[in-house]
Chains A and B, each alone.
Chain A
């Protein structure tokens, strides 16, 4: 009795005891769920296992820009098509939402009354309406576009209908690889020039027009080479044949609806993050840089934004994660993402619900953790460097 009392009055023992207890209960709970599920699956004669992954899918996926998918391909291929489509819309969405979010965030701090009001209404409206409704709204607008036979035409090359936006597809011919190599080289040398210019400025105080040089290198050099080589590129134009346009490239309304909704929704949150980041930089910083005689645009670029980024990046990371996870709502408009194809059709056709859901969840986890890792590396690179 006495020794027992002593044990529990010891803070260290108490804390270890309760932590062990909680972990033990948690493990027991997981064990119970796994056991019951396995028991019930067996009881109901529901077959389990991973063999279905190598079975032919038997259905077609029409939206597969990266892999040429046929119905004789396997469920594993369905998975890859889904992952790529999820990554595609998430990637495009993150880039566009960042740009739009920064713009709106800065506009909301500007002194133009009208712009500030418009930005305010946009943010409040999109933040407070469920994303699913916005996706469906965009989709129902897009399918009200003209039918394919009455497509809107632009210069006989672009066609807009409720089946998507058709545009010419570039075909690269012999020699185009040189243009591409020149582009890559220009990109690399721009980075080297930037580092060199920074070092020179640190050492001597002299500046170098990095941006205009980089622009010249990246755009003009490949363009010059392109014409020297006799324009080694032609276009495959879309043409209405039978039921649909043949040839060219197409962006489907399902993708556009997802892209617009995800971008516009997430950008509203990002703009608030950006605004709070900029406001977190004290007024004194602005005044101090002004008294040094810096230009207004320089103050923003060199003083305010670098300090604001420290506040902006951590919540920005979680916005990227949100956007990626929200892309799973594509199922509402038939966008062939991971949840729709593998987690939906494959699951349903094979009946392997648990296996499919485990794979889908593990995939989202992997994508999210990867985004976090890169954002954390970036976050560390912009933190204060104590000298």
Chain B
């Protein structure tokens, strides 16, 4: 039904969505950002009911870039299935929803991935009492899997490649997966490794669950927008890049004011002291300064939401800067 509605919505909202999304957002006064239905560390309401997480920060960063105010976001929850029609129909301005960048989504679905805010890979979680230490020992197991995801396809490939069998139990949301795994309806839950860490952290007794060492796919997760609106794509892309560049340059939410009088030219360009990059994007001159001031740089967002000191305990790994052994890399700010 939702899909059907979206199809109609596509035709009805056609003209509204064709105008520049940036102007639409400015006129509306707030950003509509599509997120998950709740995945701790990425996008989930915190104790005070505020949306928090790496993806939620991505949404807030764009809101800050446009309005200079981190609260001007409406978070719209989407399932693995509803996310694309929701974006295509113009119901949301962007998705920051653990979405893997693939060629078919980029090309065939008419979307534009603007970058990667988390490098992930698909893993398996099992009860430690199962006595399994590798995914290749899972012959005959029942596997809970979120439908409509790339993980569903990777799973079929992995088992086919290893010549072992499994039974898929299709589920719609992460919560449903959790419920079925904890009830023993399935032996294994598979999704992105970060999602597994998040699920494990939410279990009553995290020690009873084990994430297997195999990572069977590459899952670059990133924000995406509708294809064709390049101005809006640039705004989202550079909101993300600004956070990464800020980390690279050592600019944090705490020292950002002091950095305004830095002698490093790129810092001055980033903070809007020199150059007119804000104008080029049709944003305020200090848009990137505001992002760093109100949200923080990439590292701050990472450490606060998914890093080793959070319940998720995910080490930086691939998500460290390219200068520190990872592959996080943003084009130069000039």
Residues on A close to B: CB < 8 A?
Answer: 33, 36-37, 39-41, 43-47, 58-62, 71-72, 143-144, 147-148, 162-163, 241-244, 246, 253, 331, 334, 336, 340, 343-345, 347-351, 353-354, 357
Query: What chain B residues lie within 8 Å of A39 (beta carbons)?
Result: 14
Q: How far is the CA of A45 from the CA of B229 in the complex (A)?
A: 12
Question: Could you tell me the distance in whole angstroms from the C-beta of A33 to the nearest C-beta in chain B?
Answer: 6
Q: Which residue in chain B gives the minimum CB-CB distance to A328?
A: B1
Tell me whether B208 is interfacial, beta carbon within 8 Å.
no
Question: Could you tell me the distance in whole angstroms from the C-beta of B182 to the nearest C-beta in chain A?
Answer: 10
Query: What chain B residues lie within 8 Å of A349 (beta carbons)?
Result: 148, 152-153
B169 with A71: CB separation less than 8 A: no
A348 with B167: CB separation less than 8 A: no
Tell me whether B19 is interfacial, beta carbon within 8 Å.
no
Q: How far is the CA of A41 from the CA of B110 in the complex (A)?
A: 9
Tell me whether B48 is interfacial, beta carbon within 8 Å.
no
Q: Mark B142-162, 1 if CB is under 8 A from A, else 0.
A: 100001100011011101100
Question: Could you tell me the distance in whole angstroms from the C-beta of A255 to the nearest C-beta in chain B?
Answer: 13
Q: Which residue in chain B gives the minimum CB-CB distance to A36?
A: B11
A-B contact pairs, 12 of them (CB 8 A): A36-B14, A41-B10, A43-B18, A44-B110, A59-B168, A144-B183, A242-B141, A334-B172, A348-B147, A350-B108, A353-B85, A357-B3
Q: Which residue in chain B gives the minimum CB-CB distance to A244?
A: B140
Interface residues in B255-286 by Cβ distance below 8 A to A read none
Query: What chain A residues lie within 8 Å of B85 (beta carbons)?
Result: 353
Interface centre among B18, B167, B180, B187, by most chain A C-beta atoms within 10 angstroms, is B167
B169 with A47: CB separation less than 8 A: no
B3 with A353: CB separation less than 8 A: yes
Query: What chain B residues lie within 8 Å of A331 (beta carbons)?
Result: 172
Contact of A44 among B7, B80, B88, B179 (CB under 8 A): B88
A347 with B3: CB separation less than 8 A: yes
A-B contact count (CB 8 A): 122
B84 with A348: CB separation less than 8 A: yes
Query: What chain B residues lie within 8 Å of A353 (beta carbons)?
Result: 3, 6-7, 85
Question: Could you tell me the distance in whole angstroms from the C-beta of A344 to the nearest C-beta in chain B?
Answer: 6
Contact of A162 among B4, B109, B184 (CB under 8 A): B184
Given contacts A44-B226, A162-B184, A334-B171, contact A60 B14 (CB under 8 A): no
Residues on B close to A: CB < 8 A?
Answer: 3-4, 6-8, 10-11, 14, 18, 80-81, 84-85, 88, 104-105, 107-110, 130, 138-142, 147-148, 152-153, 155-157, 159-160, 166-172, 179-180, 183-185, 187, 226-228
Given contacts A44-B110, A47-B108, A344-B147, contact A60 B166 (CB under 8 A): yes
Q: How far is the CA of A243 from the CA of B165 in the complex (A)?
A: 11
Question: Could you tell me the distance in whole angstroms from the C-beta of B155 to the nearest C-beta in chain A?
Answer: 8
Query: What chain B residues lie within 8 Å of A163 (beta carbons)?
Result: 142, 185
B80 with A348: CB separation less than 8 A: yes
Q: Which residue in chain B gives the minimum CB-CB distance to A72?
A: B160
Q: How far is the CA of A331 from the CA of B187 in the complex (A)?
A: 21
Q: How far is the CA of A18 from the CA of B221 in the complex (A)?
A: 57
A33 with B11: CB separation less than 8 A: yes
Query: What chain A residues lie within 8 Å of B226 (beta carbons)?
Result: 44
B156 with A58: CB separation less than 8 A: yes
B228 with A45: CB separation less than 8 A: yes
A351 with B109: CB separation less than 8 A: yes
Q: How far is the CA of A147 from the CA of B138 in the complex (A)?
A: 17
Question: Could you tell me the distance in whole angstroms from the C-beta of A199 to the nearest C-beta in chain B?
Answer: 54
B14 with A46: CB separation less than 8 A: no
Interface centre among A61, A71, A148, by most chain B C-beta atoms within 10 angstroms, is A71
Q: How far is the CA of A246 from the CA of B139 in the complex (A)?
A: 12
